[in-house]
């Protein structure tokens, strides 16, 4: 049985494990290369310098130009937000640098997205393809057909079957469920989380000419894009009491509650006693003057 070698590339947080697993599940005799020929998140190595080594048959596939390259990619907004969210939890050193200067770290992420995706796309093989994560979310069947056509892969099940769990590319399914929100929802949530300042940094540093070849476009005026959140608008603190009173019955607004009335009377009585005490003290002092 001849193996079909598919090398997977992608920046961290680009769903490389998911794409590798779903391709292996749906196409016949596929062997996913994750660490061979360089790491899946690293710059590609020169295939012409690759020496004969395991897995068996890989050297012949490269020599015969039968190596496939699959590049997992996300929209810059969604990817930057996902990277920041993950690395703030997992990488304390990166998190401290991000908190010190978030704009600088986002510029570095944009440079990584530009440089590595171009390097992977320019790998000298004939059979290569990008896979947009948004397409896998919105139209899984068409996205898988596109991958199979570009990489000349043989389907082993129709219709294509998605996976419900996270999987390692060549290993068993894990117990953690894979959440699939819509692509539009992901991008909107990313824009809300990043804020206008970081979105502006991304807009100025992503190579949008290259991104447009993948049908990714910038949002030039983010102020107009985010949808208003559900619920009433926030109320200033000084107007909160008046705002609340608008929803009370008229009688309730005119007549205060017994608790409020008792509180007012108690405060008035206390103030009256204090004033009377001061007056009595003054009269006492004036009485004993020589």
The full set of domain ranges for the chain reads 4-185, 252-287
For residue 30, the model assigns a pLDDT of: 92
Query: Measured between alpha carbons, how far is 70 from 131 in angstroms, rounded to an integer?
Result: 7
Other C-beta atoms lying within 10 Å of the C-beta of residue 231: 6
Domain 4-185 has CATH 3.30.2220: no
Among the ranges given (46-55, 60-69, 212-221), the one the predictor scored with the smallest mean pLDDT: 46-55
Which one of 61-70, 225-234, 242-251 scores highest in mean pLDDT? 61-70
> Given a cut of 60, is residue 7 above it in pLDDT?
yes
What is the band of 49 on the pLDDT scale with cuts at 50, 70, 90?
low
Contacts 24+ apart (CB under 8 A), 38-47: 40/8, 40/9, 40/10, 40/16, 41/9, 41/10, 41/11, 41/12, 41/16, 41/116, 43/116, 43/119, 44/9, 44/119, 44/120, 44/123, 47/123, 47/124, 47/125
> Given a cut of 60, is residue 168 above it in pLDDT?
no
Other C-beta atoms lying within 10 Å of the C-beta of residue 38: 16
Q: 28 phi and psi, to 5 degrees?
A: -75, 140
Report the chain's mean pLDDT, rounded to a whole number. 78
Query: Measured between alpha carbons, how far is 131 from 144 in angstroms, rounded to an integer?
Result: 9
For residue 272, the model assigns a pLDDT of: 81
For residue 104, the model assigns a pLDDT of: 92
What is the band of 256 on the pLDDT scale with cuts at 50, 70, 90?
low
For residue 245, the model assigns a pLDDT of: 46
For residue 229, the model assigns a pLDDT of: 42
DSSP 111-159: HHHHHHHHHHHT-S-SEEEEEEHHHHHH-HHHHHHHHHHHHTPPBSSSS
For residue 243, the model assigns a pLDDT of: 41
Among left, alpha and beta (phi > 0; psi -120 to 50; other), residue 217 is beta
List the structure tokens of 119.
């390097």
Query: Measured between alpha carbons, how far is 232 from 161 in angstroms, rounded to an integer?
Result: 43
Chain position carrying tokens 């012949």: 60
The crossing angle, in degrees rounded to 10, of helices 16-26 and 140-151 is 80
Q: Are residues 68 and 126 in contact, defined by beta-carbon separation less than 8 angstroms?
A: no
Name which residue leads in pLDDT, 53 or 77. 77
> Given a cut of 50, is residue 231 above it in pLDDT?
no
Which one of 56-60, 136-140, 162-166, 271-275 scores highest in mean pLDDT? 136-140
pTM: 0.69
Chain position carrying tokens 């490389």: 16
> Given a cut of 80, is residue 137 above it in pLDDT?
yes
What is the band of 180 on the pLDDT scale with cuts at 50, 70, 90?
low
For residue 190, the model assigns a pLDDT of: 85
> Given a cut of 90, is residue 209 above it in pLDDT?
yes
DSSP 27: B
Question: Taking the mean position of all CA atoms in its chain, how far away is CA 2?
Answer: 39
> Given a cut of 80, is residue 230 above it in pLDDT?
no
Query: Measured between alpha carbons, how far is 200 from 106 in angstroms, rounded to an integer?
Result: 10
b/e for 233-249, b at 16 or more Cβ within 10 A?
eeeeeeeeeeeeeeeee
> Given a cut of 90, is residue 10 above it in pLDDT?
yes
Which one of 77-81, 188-192, 234-238 scores highest in mean pLDDT? 77-81
What are 72-114's pLDDT values in tens digits? 999 999 999 999 988 888 888 888 888 889 999 999 999 999 9
């Amino acid at each position: 049985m001849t193996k079909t070698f598919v090398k997977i590339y992608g920046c961290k947080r680009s769903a490389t494990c998911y794409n590798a697993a779903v391709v292996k599940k749906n196409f016949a005799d596929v062997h996913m290369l994750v660490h061979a020929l360089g790491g899946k998140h690293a710059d590609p190595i020169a295939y012409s310098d690759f020496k004969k080594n395991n897995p068996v048959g890989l050297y012949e596939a490269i020599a015969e130009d039968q190596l496939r390259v699959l590049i997992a990619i996300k929209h810059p907004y969604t990817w930057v937000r996902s990277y920041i969210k993950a690395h703030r939890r997992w990488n304390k050193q990166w998190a401290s640098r991000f908190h010190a200067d978030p704009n600088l770290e986002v510029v570095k992420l944009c440079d990584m997205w530009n440089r590595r995706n171009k390097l992977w796309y320019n790998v000298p093989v004939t059979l290569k393809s990008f896979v947009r994560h948004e397409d896998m979310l919105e139209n899984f069947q068409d996205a898988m057909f596109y991958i199979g056509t570009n990489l000349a892969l043989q389907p082993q099940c129709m219709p294509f079957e998605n996976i419900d769990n996270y999987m390692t590319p060549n290993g068993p399914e894990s117990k953690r469920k894979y959440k699939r929100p819509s692509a539009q929802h992901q991008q909107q949530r990313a824009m809300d989380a990043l804020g206008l300042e970081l979105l502006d940094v991304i807009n100025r540093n992503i190579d949008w000419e290259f991104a447009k070849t993948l049908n990714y476009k910038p949002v030039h005026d983010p102020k107009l894009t985010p949808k208003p959140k559900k619920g009433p608008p926030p109320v200033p603190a000084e107007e909160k009491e008046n705002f609340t009173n608008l929803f009370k019955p008229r009688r309730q607004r005119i007549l205060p509650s017994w608790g409020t009335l008792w509180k007012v009377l108690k405060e008035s009585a206390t103030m009256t006693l204090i004033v009377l005490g001061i007056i009595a003290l003054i009269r006492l002092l004036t009485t004993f003057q020589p």
